[in-house]
């Protein structure tokens, strides 16, 4: 099995890229979305500057890591697919995952564009502009600097968060060459 990890900041295009790759590879590919492993109820954090309490989704402790690791290892050992993609904020941060990856991808997108995407996504889901931007400024950007951005240095390749077809074609061609397709 060929295992791909896709990391990057909030709203950088990780899910879009993994979706396009999964579409290309079809039935020979499985995708694990780390967002599916958020704790319920969610943990909270206190913003270091404002002291406001927020739901925390930008720290590894916000995930059911034991379940994630179990599903990840099971997919590698028992999966019927040729290709496994794991995508999420911490795909390159967590050694338990990173050490099993054959290809490590970091999706890069400028912070202002990620913020605009985040505003669009979360206001469409009922949050106000102030709620989205306050949380981003108070906690999300700090967690990005703490966990996500440093993981870039583990990447084999950095791709533009616009997720253009060229990036998909290059990745797919490389994976095909490694899997004998």
- For 102-116, how does the pLDDT look when each residue is reduced to its tens digit (9 = 90+)? 999 999 999 999 999
Domain range summary for the chain, segments of one domain joined by +: 2-179
**Global pTM value:** 0.95
Longest dimension (CA), the chain: 54
**Multiple choice CATH, 2-179, 3.40.50.10260, 3.90.79.10, 3.30.310.80, 3.40.50.300:** 3.40.50.300
| Residue 126, Ramachandran bin (φ over 0: left; ψ between -120 and 50: alpha; else beta) | left
Write out pLDDT tens, residues 99-152.
Answer: 999 999 999 999 999 999 999 999 999 999 999 999 999 999 999 999 999 999
Residue-level length of the chain: 181
């Amino acid at each position: 099995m060929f295992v791909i990890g896709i990391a990057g900041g909030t709203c950088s295009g990780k899910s879009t890229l993994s979706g396009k790759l999964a579409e290309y590879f079809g039935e020979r590919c499985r995708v694990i979305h780390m967002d599916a492993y958020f704790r319920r109820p969610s943990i909270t954090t206190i913003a270091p500057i404002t002291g406001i309490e927020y739901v925390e989704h930008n720290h590894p402790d916000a995930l059911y890591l034991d379940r994630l690791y179990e599903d990840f290892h099971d997919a590698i050992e028992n999966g019927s697919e040729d290709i496994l993609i794991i995508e999420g904020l911490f795909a390159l941060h967590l050694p338990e995952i990173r050490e099993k990856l054959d290809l490590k991808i970091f999706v890069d997108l400028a912070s202002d564009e990620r913020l605009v995407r985040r505003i669009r996504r979360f206001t469409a889901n009922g949050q106000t502009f102030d709620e989205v931007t306050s949380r981003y400024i108070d906690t999300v950007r700090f967690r990005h600097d703490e966990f996500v951005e440093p993981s870039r240095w583990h990447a084999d390749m950095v791709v533009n968060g616009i997720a253009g077809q060229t990036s998909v074609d290059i990745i797919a061609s490389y994976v095909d060459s490694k899997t004998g397709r």
